[in-house]
């Protein structure tokens, strides 16, 4: 773990929710994240269109690259369409509330056009794992009411205020924590301390950029559980290998499995998910700085402190 960030609080403490706080939290969890090697320096460009000679495949994060909150980034649909004219463009999102199909419908409403097989959501990676679990297990799920748990291939109960629900389930799924008050987290901690069980995390993000600032995501709570309950949650999505293994599987399906991994760009706004994960998978990476985690900031101090160096830094999508 790099020590350039000052860890003045324990991981379980919160705030203020800004880029420095987010990066400190990721650094606190660094031992649980994949390892990777990075270039010595990065190159600045204006947009992804400046990189068409460098890459044949662009893997795009959603938040901070396609959209911020419920709004598409200005110019992003046109930029993506221009890339799609002669490049393979895919979306790799940690947004777990929606399936890939539902997420793609949302992107279409914003003016993006992606083939169904070109959108990969961490939720679907999680569901593929749950299919392999015994059918008689009951899973407690942290999720908002609109999360469509009826799509799950296993028995589920949405975790709310009743501590008995936490006690009786066979395992836990952290799908979304947009509606996850501290009381529910306390019920979860108590249940796991009383009886350890499997914890699956459908969204490894610690925080996500929104119109109003940052939202706290399941990764934050999962890393707290690892500390408080002495367990190892299983994460689905960036920066973990299962997300990039699925990318490679999809590329093979469209007959470009022999592509040089250096011709594949993982594009995102986060050092610890997009850039770290992309490099760990053997891809090169592009940090988009103007719309997501580092909006209004110079990312260089965060790069230097973490040691996570993108190959390129783009001002915008």
Instruction: Name the token pair of 121.
Output: 């959501």
With beta carbons less than 8 A apart as the criterion, state whether 158 and 176 touch: no
DSSP secondary structure letters along 239-259: TSHHHHHHHHHHHHHTT-TTS
One pLDDT digit (tens) per residue for the chain, 317 residues: 333 333 333 344 444 689 999 999 999 999 999 999 999 999 999 999 999 999 999 999 999 999 988 889 999 999 999 999 999 999 999 989 999 999 999 999 999 999 999 999 999 999 999 999 999 999 999 999 999 999 999 999 999 999 999 999 999 999 999 889 999 999 999 999 999 999 999 999 999 877 777 889 999 999 999 999 999 999 999 999 999 999 999 998 887 667 789 999 999 999 999 999 999 999 999 999 999 999 999 999 999 999 999 999 999 99
Label residues 52-76 b or e (16+ Cβ within 10 Å = b): eebbebbbbbbbbbbbbeeebbeeb
Question: At 121, which helix (H) or strand (E)?
Answer: strand 119-121
With beta carbons less than 8 A apart as the criterion, state whether 312 and 299 touch: no
Q: Domain 19-124+239-314: what homologous superfamily?
A: HAD superfamily/HAD-like (3.40.50.1000)
Cβ neighbours of residue 223 closer than 8 Å, sequence gap 6 or more: 11, 25, 28, 29, 32, 206, 233
Supply the pLDDT for residue 1. 36
Supply the pLDDT for residue 16. 60
Q: Do domains 19-124+239-314 and 134-235 have the same CATH topology?
A: yes
Place of tokens 């790069």: 303
Angle at 66 between CA 63 and CA 69, to 5 degrees: 45
Q: Report the C-alpha gap between 265 and 41 in whole angstroms.
A: 16
* Domain residue ranges of the chain, discontinuous segments joined by +: 19-124+239-314, 134-235
CATH architecture of 134-235: 3-Layer(aba) Sandwich (3.40)
Supply the pLDDT for residue 3. 36
The stretches of the chain forming alpha helices (DSSP H) are: 19-28, 76-84, 100-109, 122-130, 163-168, 182-194, 218-229, 241-253, 276-280, 300-306
Shortest CA distance to 219 belongs to which of 30, 7, 2, 19?
30
Place of tokens 């501590």: 163
Angle between helices 19-28 and 218-229 (to 10 degrees): 40
Residue 246 C-alpha from the chain's centroid: 14
User: Which backbone phi and psi does 68 adopt, to 5 degrees?
Assistant: -125, 115
Kindly report the pTM of this predicted structure: 0.93
Q: Report the C-alpha gap between 201 and 219 in whole angstroms.
A: 7
HEC secondary structure over 185-211 = HHHHHHHHHHCCCEEEECCCCCEEEEC
What is the DSSP secondary structure assignment for residue 24, as one 8-state letter? H
Supply the pLDDT for residue 6. 36
With beta carbons less than 8 A apart as the criterion, state whether 121 and 151 touch: no
Label residues 229-268 b or e (16+ Cβ within 10 Å = b): bebebebbbbbbebbbebbbebbeeeeeeebeeeebbbbb
Instruction: Name the token pair of 269.
Output: 């706004």
Place of tokens 């773990």: 1
Supply the pLDDT for residue 302. 98
């Amino acid at each position: 773990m790099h020590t350039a960030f000052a860890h003045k609080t324990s991981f379980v403490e919160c705030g203020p929710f800004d880029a420095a706080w987010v990066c400190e939290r990721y650094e606190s969890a660094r031992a649980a994240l994949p390892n990777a090697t990075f270039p010595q320096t990065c190159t600045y460009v204006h947009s992804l269109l400046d990189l068409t000679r460098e890459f044949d495949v662009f893997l795009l994060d959603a938040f901070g690259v396609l959209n911020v909150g419920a709004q598409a980034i200005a110019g992003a649909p046109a930029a993506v369409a221009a890339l799609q004219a002669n490049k393979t463009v895919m979306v790799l999102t940690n947004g777990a509330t929606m399936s890939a199909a539902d997420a793609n419908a949302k992107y279409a409403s914003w003016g993006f056009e992606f083939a169904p097989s070109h959108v990969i959501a961490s939720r679907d990676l999680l569901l593929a794992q749950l299919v392999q679990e015994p059918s008689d297990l009951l899973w407690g799920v942290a999720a908002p009411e609109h999360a469509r748990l009826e799509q799950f291939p296993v028995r589920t109960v949405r975790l709310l205020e009743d501590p008995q629900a936490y006690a009786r389930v066979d395992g836990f799924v952290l799908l979304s924590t947009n509606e996850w008050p501290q009381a529910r987290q306390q019920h979860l901690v108590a249940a796991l301390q009383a009886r350890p069980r499997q914890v699956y995390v459908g969204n490894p993000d610690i925080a996500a950029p929104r119109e109003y600032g940052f939202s706290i995501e399941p990764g934050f709570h999962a890393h707290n559980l690892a500390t408080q309950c002495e367990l190892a949650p299983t994460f689905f999505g960036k920066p973990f290998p299962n997300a990039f293994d699925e990318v490679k599987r999809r590329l093979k399906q469209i007959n470009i499995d022999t592509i040089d991994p250096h011709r594949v760009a993982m594009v995102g706004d986060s050092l610890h998910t997009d850039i770290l994960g992309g490099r760990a998978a053997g891809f090169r990476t592009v940090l988009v700085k103007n719309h997501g985690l580092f909006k209004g900031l110079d990312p260089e101090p965060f790069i230097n402190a973490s040691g996570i160096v993108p190959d390129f830094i783009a001002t915008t999508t």
